[in-house]
Structure 1
Amino acid sequence: MGAVLLNSLGLFVIIVIGYLTKRFNVLMKADGSMISKIVVNVTLPAAIIVNLQSLVVKNQLLLLILAGLLLNLVMIIIGHLLSKKQERVEREFLMYGVSGYNIGNFAIPFVQSFMPQAIPILSFFDIGNSVMLAGGSNVVIEGISGSNMGSPGAKKVLSRLFRSVPFLCYLIMLSLRILQIDLPQAFFQMAQPIANANTFLSMFMIGLFLELRLPKKDLTLVARVLAIKYGAGLLLTVLFMLLPLPAIIKVVLCLVSVGPIPTFGVINSVAAGMRAEVVGFTSSLSFLISLPLMTSLMLFL
C-alpha cells in the first residue's frame, strides 16, 4: 500500500511542479504543446516499443481492441441519453467529454510507474480506442446530433490513424509479435532511457495545461459532464469487477474507466463550438479527479 501511495504522490508532485512553473512564469502554457509533441512522437512510442518487446499475442488480448471500440460507443450513447434537453453544442461537448480514454498521456504513464506488465493490455485496448479518437467518435456524435456536415469519412479517419506515431508503433510491434520476430536486445536497451522519460514528461505537461479558473455560470455544465463521466465510469468498474476476467485485465479496464478526458475530446469539443476555457477547465479538473480515483482502485484491486 505504501509503495502505491508514494508512486501516486510522486505523480501528483510532478503535476504540481509543472503547474507552478507556469504560475511563476518559468515556462508558459504554450511550452506544454512542445512537450506534448515530444511525448506523442518520441517518449510514448519508445514506451510502447519497450513494453511490447516480449508480448505473447492471445485471442483474449485481441478482444481488447473490440472493447476499446465498444466502450467508446457505450459512453457516447450514455452521454446522448442524458443530454437530450440541452442545446446542440452542449450535447456534443457532453458526449465528447464522457467518451474516449486518455491512454497515451495518462493511463500508460500512470500504469508504467505501478505495474509495467499491464502496458501490453493497455496497448491492445488503445488500438480500438485510437480508431474512435481519430474520427470514429466524430462520425457517431455528429450523426446523432444532426451536425454531420464536417464529419470525417473513412479515408480521413485512416489518414489520421496512420499519421499517429503511437498507433503505428502498436501495429508494428503487434505484427512482429504475431510473427514471433524478435528485434535485437541492443535496440530495446537504447530505447529504454527514452521510455523512462515518458512518465515525467506526461505528468509535467498536464501541470502546464492545468486551468483552475472558470466563471461560476459555467460550473453547472462542468459538474454535469464530470458527474456523468465518473458516475458511468464507476458503474462500469463495478461491472468489470464482477465479470470472470483475468485479474490484470480487470485492473486495466477499471483504471481506464475512471481516467481523464482525452486530448481529442478537448479538441473536438472546441471544434463543435464549446468555449475553450470551459473545455480546458473541465479537462484539467478531470485529471485531478482521476489521479486519486485510479490510485484508490490500485489499492483496492
Structure 2
Amino acid sequence: MDNFVLILVAITIGYGINRLNIFSKEAPIILNQFVIYISLPAMVLLQIPKLTFSVDTIIPIVVAWAVIIISAILVLLLSRLFAFSREVTGSLMLVATLSNSSFLGIPIINAYMGEDSLPYVLVYDQLGNSIAVATYGTFIASYYSNKSKTGFKIIFLKILTFPPFISLIVALFLMGVEFNDTITKVLTNFANTIVPLALVAVGLQLQFRLPKEDLKPFSVALVVKLILAPIIAILVCKLFGWNNQAAIVSIMEAGMASMITAGVIASMTGLAPRLSTAIVGYGIIISFFTTAVLFKIIG
C-alpha cells in the first residue's frame, strides 16, 4: 500500500510543479539523467550480486524474455502497419516491452499471493527485466535515437559506455560477493532515488489531454503491455505445461505497467518523451485494474 501511495504522490507532485512553473523546463531531463547515471547503476550493483541460480529460476526467466522478444516483434509489426515515426517506434520498443516488475510487481503480487511468491518476482525482475534494460534497452535507445543510419560499431560503443550496462558487467563479476555495511547503505540510498525521481519526472511531463497524433501509439502501447503481454506469458506457460506458483507470478509480472526506467531512457534519448511519459504514467494507474482482472482469471 505504501508503494501505491508513493506512486500517486510523486506523480501528483511532478504534475503540480509543472502547472505552477516552479522548475525549469529542463528539470525532467536532469532528473532522468540522475536516474540513468547514478540511481540505476547503484540498483544494479546492489541487486545482481545477490542472485543465485536454481531450477525454480527457469520459469520466470523464460517467460520474461519470451514476453520481451515477442512484444518487441509485435511492436515492430504494428509500428509498420500504422506508419509510426522512428522516434515513436523506438519509444514503444522500450515502454511496451519492459515491465515494472519490481516497484509495482512486488506490492501487487505480495497482496494477491503472499510473501512466499516474492523470490519469483525478484528472479523475473533481475534475470529478466534488469538485464534486458541494460542490454536490449541500451541497444534500442542507441539505435532509434540516431536520426541517420548508424553503423554497428557506433551502437556497440554506445552500449559499452552506457552506465547501466557497465554496472551490469561489474555486478556479474561480483555475484556471490557480500558488500560491507557502508557500501550496501550507500548503494541502497542511491538506488532508492530511482522511483521518486523518475515518477516526479513523469508527473512533470504528464498531460491529461494527449495530442491527437499520440493517441494511436499510446493505445497500441497499452494494449501490447497490459493485454497482449500477459496473454503471451499464459501461452508460454501452457506450451511448457507450467502451472505452479512460479508460472502464476510470471504471468502477473508480464501484465504489469511499463517499466519506469524504460520511460526514463526513452525520454532522455529523445524517443517521443511526451508519449513515453504518458504511457508510463497512465499505464501505472490502469494496471491497478487490469492486474486485478488478470489474477481473477489465472489465480
TM-score under structure 2 normalisation?
0.71
CA deviation vs aligned residue, 1:167-196 (integer Å, no higher than 9, x gap) = 22222222221xx33333332133333333
Report the counterpart of residue 97 of structure 1 in structure 2.
92
Residues 1:278 and 1:174: Cα distance change in structure 2 (over 3 Å): closer
CA–CA distance in structure 2, aligned partners of residues 160 and 86 of structure 1? 29
Residues 1:152 and 1:15: Cα distance change in structure 2 (over 3 Å): farther
Aligned counterpart in structure 2 of residue 158 of structure 1, from 137, 156, 166:
156
CA–CA distance in structure 1, aligned partners of residues 163 and 172 of structure 2? 14
Residues 1:59 and 1:47: Cα distance change in structure 2 (over 3 Å): same
TM-fit CA distance, 1:95 = 7.1
CA–CA distance in structure 2, aligned partners of residues 112 and 39 of structure 1? 20
Say whether 1:123 aligns with 2:126. Answer: yes
Structure 2 unaligned spans of 5+:
111-117
User: Do the aligned partners of 1:79 and 1:95 also contact (CA within 8 Å) in 2?
Assistant: no
2:159 aligned partner, one-letter code: L
TM-fit CA distance, 1:28 = 3.9
Say whether 1:86 aligns with 2:82. Answer: yes
Aligned counterpart in structure 2 of residue 170 of structure 1, from 168, 171, 175:
168
CA–CA distance in structure 1, aligned partners of residues 274 and 66 of structure 2? 30
Report the counterpart of residue 42 of structure 1 in structure 2.
38
Report the counterpart of residue 7 of structure 1 in structure 2.
3
Report the counterpart of residue 181 of structure 2 in structure 1.
185
CA deviation vs aligned residue, 1:247-295 (integer Å, no higher than 9, x gap) = 3575356324442273345677x66xxx765565455433443455457
CA–CA distance in structure 2, aligned partners of residues 266 and 121 of structure 1? 25
Residues 1:68 and 1:129: Cα distance change in structure 2 (over 3 Å): farther
Percent of aligned pairs with the same amino acid: 16
User: Do the aligned partners of 1:240 and 1:253 also contact (CA within 8 Å) in 2?
Assistant: no
Residues 1:156 and 1:188: Cα distance change in structure 2 (over 3 Å): same
Report the counterpart of residue 132 of structure 1 in structure 2.
136
Secondary structure at the aligned position of 2:282 is classed as helix
1:171 aligned partner, one-letter code: I
Higher relative contact order (CA 8 A, sep 6+): 2
1:285 aligned partner, one-letter code: Y
Report the counterpart of residue 57 of structure 1 in structure 2.
53
User: Do the aligned partners of 1:15 and 1:203 also contact (CA within 8 Å) in 2?
Assistant: yes
CA–CA distance in structure 2, aligned partners of residues 217 and 149 of structure 1? 23
2:173 aligned partner, one-letter code: S
CA–CA distance in structure 1, aligned partners of residues 214 and 50 of structure 2? 48
Residues 1:131 and 1:54: Cα distance change in structure 2 (over 3 Å): closer
Secondary structure at the aligned position of 1:181 is classed as coil
User: Do the aligned partners of 1:66 and 1:128 also contact (CA within 8 Å) in 2?
Assistant: no
User: Do the aligned partners of 1:46 and 1:191 also contact (CA within 8 Å) in 2?
Assistant: yes
Counterparts of 1:190-229 in structure 2 under 5 Å? 190-216=186-212, 219-229=215-225
CA–CA distance in structure 1, aligned partners of residues 80 and 57 of structure 2? 36
Say whether 1:72 aligns with 2:68. Answer: yes
2:139 aligned partner, one-letter code: G
Report the counterpart of residue 145 of structure 1 in structure 2.
none
Structure 1 unaligned spans of 5+:
143-147
